[in-house]
A and B are shown apart, each in its own frame.
Chain A
Amino acid sequence: MSQPRDASPHASPPVANVMPAVHYLNADRGVWSWLTTIDHKRIGIMYFVSVLFAFLLGGIFAMLLRIEHLTPEPTIMGANTYNRMFTLHGVVMIFMFMIPAIPGIFGNFLLPLMLGAKDVAFPKLNLLSLYLYWAGATLASVGMVMGGTDTGWTFYAPYSTSTPTTLFPVLLGVFIMGFSSIVTGLNFIVTIHTLRAPGMGWMRIPLFVWAIYATSIIQVLATPVIGLTVLLVGIEKVGGFGLFDATRGGDPVLFQHMFWFYSHPAVYIMVLPAMGVMSEVIGAFSRKNIFGYKAIAYSSLGIAFVGFFAWGHHMFVSGQSVLDNGAFAAISMLVGVFTAIKVFNWVATLYRGSIAVKTPMLYACGFLFFLVFGGMTGIAVATVSLDVHWHDTYFVVAHFHFIMVGAVIMAFLAAMHYWFPKMFGRNYNEGWGMVAASFIILGFNATFIPQFLVGNAGMPRRYFMYPERFTSLNVASTAGSSLLAFGFVIIVIYLIYALVRGEVAGPNPWGSRGYEWNTPSPPPKHNFDVTPVIDRDAHSYQEPGEEVEHVVI
């Protein structure tokens, strides 16, 4: 489909765009039409709203924790409350936000558009995945209202099987949300296999789709294990029989094996879609073909595959054998190779590209920085001899927040800004976007770099109080988290404003070559009037007759 005009960020100001009269948001009216929709775009929007509520909840827990850590003594809460607070922060952030966020929102919204399809393979299952998410999230929230649990999001036995706190609704909520994850992954895999438009071979699918494909494999195969594990914990707590009670000959380390067999690949469920977003954003805002398409595509599969072999690095000090420790350490470092491949390819894409300094690109830069540092500290903690010192300290906390917040949430924000015009047909205010991005990137550094330092100095995690000498770093971290929170508040404000009063975006305000930009913004309910035929490579900026500037390898 031809562009109405050259819509690159460097073109002269375009004439005013017109919002399509009918699109997926207004095609059917009424709450019931939303609750019974099988339109993947509407399902994506509903995930959007739900997931943002979860982020708000998890964020409030985080702020309360940081406020508590302003002083070494009790500040605003007692010890038991603190324990529940960090548990629920983890449970909400991981199961209600991080796991569903990018696949549920952007995967759902974009996959059919990127593949040239009218919908995902199983639209009703898609709606079911949303309902399962709501059911699980509600159940877990009920558990929180009933007082919540204090086991940590890792639910380690034997404490989890004997804690007097309200654990069962939380476990059941996690179990049901797991099903949502499985259904989503299954749907995406089948969609990618069977609903590609004519002409779209595997080596022409967008890199975001490759990332979602790899993520979905993990969702489908790893999640059942944690489903069973939390079920066993629930049965042991309520029924008094199970596999983890040492007084009856059970082995608590077995719980850890089973738990981490899912929970390690789970972090790749969180990070792989983020990496996919990055491939899209970096290509679009360098106006250049992605360097090393095949390398990025295969390394996504590589991360997903090797990620299944590395779970024991969470268990270095649990009593696991030295042999397994060594094996898991070595395998974990292998994942770093695949990640590095991606980082090099992204940087090579930026090189000599026509960089547009827009909000998504700012977040992309933040992502690269935080992924590299977070990833390198990951290799560091994967070294057994070092992890013996760092395990259960704030060093590990800082490491995974660098990846989960620094990398994944930067990517989430980049995705939100990049695809906002596509989803809602309006542009947000670029100036405020950059202001918020600055607060977030700077605030993030201020929050988590002190945590590396204080963790290395020996401050344990999940401890209600800390020795006095760690006070200044903790105060610094809390101050940073306020900046971070402030940045998020700014984003909410200008995005809501953009929804109602934003400038109409037109089909492709970024001039991106992603396939999804070939539809109007917002897209019509049925995506395409006629199924498109794909006759060029994914996100290709090659013009006919152009020199080899935009080389694809």
Chain B
Amino acid sequence: MSSSEAHAIAGDQPHAAHDPHLAHHFDTIEKQDHAVRLGMWLFLGTEVLLFAGLFLGYTVYRHFYHQTFHEASRTLDLALGALNTVVLISSSFTVAMAFYFVKKGKNGACATMLVLTVLCALTFLVVKTFEYRHKFLEGALPGKFYHFEEVKGQGANLFYTVYFLATGLHAFHVIVGMSILIWVLARVLKGHFSPTYYIPVELGGLYWHLVDLVWIFLFPLLYLI
């Protein structure tokens, strides 16, 4: 093959002035970015289906034990739940702002927003810890551990089983998301990102938004109705 053919594709040519972030098997950085975003959305799809089972469990047992679930949800602290909702929504806002700032090249502002997001995450976890502790003391525990006097009736322990499983899995995701954002923050502080390369911030943000999305549904189902 002629030399004119051989160098046609970016990445085939050694030491071309190509993007240092471009992997060898992608032609262009746009393709790579599209691939990485699509991969992340697929992963978010798997998370949606993961929580689907718990939402199903909630739906089924709420249907079976409507009254008991209604009473049990009244024993959850609405103020703390609402606070957590506000905290998570605000953290979604701050992480969206972090993405906005890094695209504009304002790394300092981006870092600030990420710090705020992480603080929101910590606040959420602290509030959750208080709530869990309260439930432990009351005896409102899942399954065979249930000995909560206030709510009796068939299916009462199931409410708290669903509550602990769903919020527990969600809290696990909060911890994972927070860790990812701390890692992204470290890279922002080291100056890895610029208006031409910011995709890890975007992806970390996408994961965090999912964590918020799950809570947007968990909150009314568990605390309100």
Contact = CB atoms under 8 A, between A and B. Distances in A.
A241 B160 CA distance: 10
A245 interface: yes
A489 B220 CA distance: 60
Contacts of A121: 25, 35, 39
B25 A195 contact: yes
B35 A190 contact: yes
Given A222-B49, A225-B49, A530-B1, A241 B161 contact: yes
Given A242-B161, A249-B154, A258 B5 contact: no
A243 B162 contact: yes
A477 interface: no
Nearest to A251: B60
Contact of B143 (A190, A194, A240): A240
- Dominant secondary structure at the A interface: helix
A119 B25 contact: yes
Contacts of A120: 25
Query: Among the interface residues A182, A193, A239, A243, which one has the most CB atoms of the partner chain B within 10 A?
Result: A243
Interface string A192-223: 01110000000000000000000000001111
A86 to B, nearest CB: 26
Interface in A161-193: 182, 186-187, 189-190, 193
Contacts of B54: 228
A258 B35 contact: no
Query: Among the interface residues B39, B50, B164, which one has the most CB atoms of the partner chain A within 10 A?
Result: B39
Interface string B131-174: 00000000001111110000000110110011011000000000
Interface string B39-60: 1001101110110111011001
A101 interface: no
B65 interface: yes
Nearest to B153: A249
A158 B209 CA distance: 36
Query: Among the interface residues B146, B161, B162, which one has the most CB atoms of the partner chain A within 10 A?
Result: B161
Nearest to A527: B25
B104 interface: no
A84 interface: no
A224 B161 CA distance: 20
B5 A530 contact: yes
A123 B65 CA distance: 49
A248 B54 CA distance: 17
Nearest to A222: B49
B198 interface: no
Given A254-B57, A530-B1, A186 B39 contact: yes
A78 interface: no
B12 A530 contact: yes
B47 A224 contact: yes
A186 B41 CA distance: 10
A232 B26 CA distance: 40
Interface in B15-43: 24-27, 31-32, 34-35, 38-39, 42-43
Given A190-B39, A229-B53, A245-B143, A224 B24 contact: no
A294 to B, nearest CB: 24
B183 interface: no
B158 A248 contact: yes
B143 A195 contact: no
Contacts of A220: 42, 45-46
B9 interface: yes
B79 interface: no
Contacts of A257: 56
Contacts of A189: 38, 42
A236 interface: yes
A117 interface: yes
Number of chain A interface residues as a range: 35 or more
Contact of A118 (B6, B24, B56, B142): B24
Contacts of B145: 240-241
Contacts of A242: 142-143, 161
A189 B1 CA distance: 32
Interface string A239-274: 111110100111100100110000000000000000
B57 A243 contact: yes
A232 B9 contact: no
B219 interface: no
A194 B30 CA distance: 10
B197 interface: no
Nearest to A226: B53
Contact of A531 (B9, B42, B56): B9
Contacts of B6: 529-530
B41 to A, nearest CB: 10
Given A243-B162, A248-B157, A186 B43 contact: yes
Given A228-B50, A241-B143, A529-B1, A250 B158 contact: yes
Nearest to A245: B143
B100 interface: no
A194 B31 contact: yes
Contacts of B12: 530-531
B93 interface: no
Nearest to A247: B144
Contact of B165 (A118, A232, A254): A232
B17 to A, nearest CB: 19
A122 interface: yes
A249 B158 contact: yes
Contact of B34 (A117, A194, A239, A243): A194
B35 A221 contact: no
A484 B65 CA distance: 53
B52 A194 contact: no
B64 interface: yes
A186 B162 CA distance: 29
Contacts of B162: 243
A100 interface: no
Contact of B25 (A117, A240, A251): A117
Interface in A499-539: 529-531
B49 A221 contact: yes
10 contacts: A122-B39, A186-B42, A194-B31, A194-B34, A240-B144, A243-B61, A243-B162, A248-B157, A249-B64, A249-B155
Given A121-B35, A182-B46, A241-B142, 14 more contacts: A120-B25, A186-B43, A187-B39, A194-B35, A221-B45, A223-B46, A225-B49, A225-B50, A241-B143, A248-B144, A249-B64, A530-B5, A530-B8, A531-B8
